[in-house]
């Protein structure tokens, strides 16, 4: 396989990498996206995460640009869910839109290919060749063997900051004890009677966490062991529901032995969850498990040490930065590292307490995308430079699209202007992002 030299190589094709690739290629630079799976989407498709987190602050749209384009394109082809938690701070069609992973995979293919970027599937970035803080090339592995690819700029959108780690960049990992948020193997069921479920939901006020059904099961001592709640249900197609349900605690996702144990443990829990759904959720009596995620969903691993670390204090102060490249408003949503600490449905949970009032938001500075000490690397997605609390907000997909779009656009401007990333005029970047529909 012959590959030319590129202006930008993007490692990882999740929400961040997809947006970075499309933004860069649309701005006219030679862009290569490298993805280890056989399709794009990251956690949305590879872990079957059932829905997109809110695109609004409960009042206004806060995520535009490529992220919004993806959402609208997916909705056009997909199913309009009749189930919607009728909470006052949600806007229908923009907040918690269910994902049909098969449609989404195709939407991503079409958008990325139309942008003019080149994509390599089934290919992993395994090494970086760097000198004096500049990455000259990356090593990739695929069935054909090992190859080395040169580029002017690189974007780390691996969700684990792999390229930062491979280039000797600094990062933090998990909490003070080296533990990360629990992982979840999401799954989809067919033969789900949506009409019956909707009748039940209207009558009981059942919500997206199935709190009514869960309480009944808990009172009867029949809630799945090792679980405190259902993290989410989404009606994804006629007769098909997706679940973010079940946690695996205390594993190290960057170690293959531990990750294997987590996959096995997560799968072994599904029959118990199915029994709960069959017995306690009207409409799910005859539901059949049709798939679990090809990969267990990972909420957390590395966070880069960047030129600016976004913190909980910034979140609390609704901080607006001079070099803002995105705005967002999602609460601090950190799943526990241990079962004993899990408290997802309580009114005192961090998620509930941190919620903004409608219309409030914070911003993400460009500096949080720049790893200290590496001159030609930009990072986007859940691993940007934040403290652990703040990561609980920026880790969700709409924010990852936004940081990805900023990363790809910045690389394109640097190529056009023939300049280093740190010399880029952030006002120029902001102007272009706004022109592309981003909301800063």
Ligand X SMILES: Cc1cc2nc3c(=O)[nH]c(=O)nc-3n(C[C@H](O)[C@H](O)[C@H](O)COP(=O)(O)OP(=O)(O)OC[C@H]3O[C@@H](n4cnc5c(N)ncnc54)[C@H](O)[C@@H]3O)c2cc1C
Pick the closer one to ligand X by CB: 99 or 281.
99
| Residue pair 318/273 in contact by the 8 Å Cβ criterion | no
Residue showing tokens 């349900």: 245
Shortest Cβ distance from residue 175 to ligand X (Å)? 17
Shortest Cβ distance from residue 215 to ligand X (Å)? 22
Shortest Cβ distance from residue 34 to ligand X (Å)? 5
Provide the CB-side half-sphere exposure for 41 (13 A, CA).
Answer: 31
* Rounded Cα gap, residues 187 and 233, in angstroms: 10
| Residue pair 168/161 in contact by the 8 Å Cβ criterion | no
Nearest to 415 by CA among 376, 384, 362, 388: 376
Pick the closer one to ligand X by CB: 191 or 272.
272
Q: Which long-range contacts link 275-279 to residues 24+ away (Cβ below 8 Å)?
A: 275/222, 275/224, 276/213, 276/217, 276/222, 276/223, 276/224, 277/189, 277/243, 279/217, 279/222
Shortest Cβ distance from residue 105 to ligand X (Å)? 11
Pick the closer one to ligand X by CB: 36 or 436.
36
| Residue pair 21/115 in contact by the 8 Å Cβ criterion | yes
Pick the closer one to ligand X by CB: 122 or 196.
122
* Rounded Cα gap, residues 325 and 285, in angstroms: 46
Shortest Cβ distance from residue 304 to ligand X (Å)? 11
Pick the closer one to ligand X by CB: 35 or 206.
35
Please state whether 321 falls in left (phi above 0), alpha (psi between -120 and 50) or beta: beta
| Residue pair 287/191 in contact by the 8 Å Cβ criterion | yes
How much of the chain is in helix, strand and coil states, percent to nearest 5?
35, 20, 45
In the 8-state DSSP scheme, what is residue 367? G
Shortest Cβ distance from residue 305 to ligand X (Å)? 17
Pick the closer one to ligand X by CB: 15 or 78.
15
* Rounded Cα gap, residues 224 and 88, in angstroms: 31
**Residue 274 is inside which H or E element, if any?**
helix 256-280
Site residues for ligand X per CB under 6 A: 11-17, 34-37, 42-44, 46-47, 49, 51-53, 124-125, 157-160, 162, 184, 186, 232, 244, 297-299, 381-382, 395-398, 400
> Which tokens go with 231?
């993290």
Pick the closer one to ligand X by CB: 36 or 229.
36
Shortest Cβ distance from residue 390 to ligand X (Å)? 13
Pick the closer one to ligand X by CB: 10 or 281.
10
* Rounded Cα gap, residues 83 and 234, in angstroms: 8
Pick the closer one to ligand X by CB: 160 or 265.
160
Cβ contacts of 23 within 8 Å, gap of 6 or more: 65, 66, 404, 405, 406, 407, 408, 409, 412, 436
Provide the CB-side half-sphere exposure for 288 (13 A, CA).
Answer: 4
Shortest Cβ distance from residue 427 to ligand X (Å)? 26
Shortest Cβ distance from residue 395 to ligand X (Å)? 4
Pick the closer one to ligand X by CB: 382 or 388.
382
Residue showing tokens 């960049």: 169
* Rounded Cα gap, residues 137 and 149, in angstroms: 5
Pick the closer one to ligand X by CB: 136 or 193.
136
Shortest Cβ distance from residue 156 to ligand X (Å)? 9
Shortest Cβ distance from residue 54 to ligand X (Å)? 8
Q: Is 170 helix (H, G, I), strand (E, B) or coil?
A: coil
């Amino acid at each position: 396989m012959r590959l030319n030299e590129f202006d930008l190589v993007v490692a990882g094709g999740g929400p961040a990498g997809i947006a970075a690739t499309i933004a860069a290629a649309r701005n006219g630079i030679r862009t290569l996206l490298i993805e280890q799976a056989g399709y794009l989407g990251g956690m949305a498709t590879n872990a079957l995460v059932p829905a997109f987190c809110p695109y609004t602050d409960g009042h206004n749209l806060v995520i535009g640009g490529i992220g919004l384009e993806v959402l609208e394109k997916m909705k056009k082809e997909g199913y309009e869910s009749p189930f919607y938690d009728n909470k006052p701070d949600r806007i229908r069609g923009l907040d918690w839109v269910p994902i049909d992973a098969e449609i989404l995979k195709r939407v991503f293919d079409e958008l990325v290919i139309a942008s003019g970027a080149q994509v390599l599937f089934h290919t992993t970035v395994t090494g970086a060749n760097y000198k004096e803080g500049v990455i000259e090339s990356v090593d990739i592995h695929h069935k054909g063997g090992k190859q080395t690819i040169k580029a002017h700029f690189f974007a780390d959108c691996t969700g684990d900051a792999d390229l930062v780690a491979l280039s000797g960049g600094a990062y933090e990992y998990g909490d003070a004890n080296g533990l990360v948020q629990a992982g979840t193997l999401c799954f989809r069921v067919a033969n789900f009677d949506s009409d019956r479920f909707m009748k039940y939901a209207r009558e009981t006020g059942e919500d997206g966490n199935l709190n009514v059904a869960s309480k009944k099961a808990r009172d009867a001592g029949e809630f799945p062991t090792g679980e405190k709640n259902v993290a989410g249900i989404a009606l994804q197609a006629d007769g098909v529901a997706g679940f973010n349900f079940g946690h695996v605690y205390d594993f190290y996702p960057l170690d293959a032995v531990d990750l294997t144990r987590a996959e096995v443990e997560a799968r072994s829990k599904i029959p118990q969850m199915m029994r709960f759904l069959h017995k306690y959720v009207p409409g799910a009596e005859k539901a059949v498990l049709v798939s679990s995620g090809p990969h267990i969903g990972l909420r957390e691993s590395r966070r880069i040490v960047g030129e600016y670390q976004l913190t909980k204090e910034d979140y609390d102060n609704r901080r607006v930065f001079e070099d803002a490249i995105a705005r967002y408003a999602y609460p601090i949503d950190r799943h526990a590292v241990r079962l004993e600490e899990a408290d997802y449905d309580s009114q005192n949970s961090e998620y509930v307490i941190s919620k903004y009032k409608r219309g409030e938001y914070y911003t993400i500075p460009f500096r949080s995308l720049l790893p200290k000490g590496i001159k030609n690397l930009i990072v986007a997605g859940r691993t940007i430079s934040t403290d652990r609390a703040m990561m609980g907000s920026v880790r969700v997909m709409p924010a990852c699209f936004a940081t990805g779009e900023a990363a790809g656009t910045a690389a394109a401007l640097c190529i056009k202007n023939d300049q280093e990333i740190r010399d880029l005029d952030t006002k120029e970047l902001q102007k272009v992002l706004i022109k592309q529909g981003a909301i800063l």
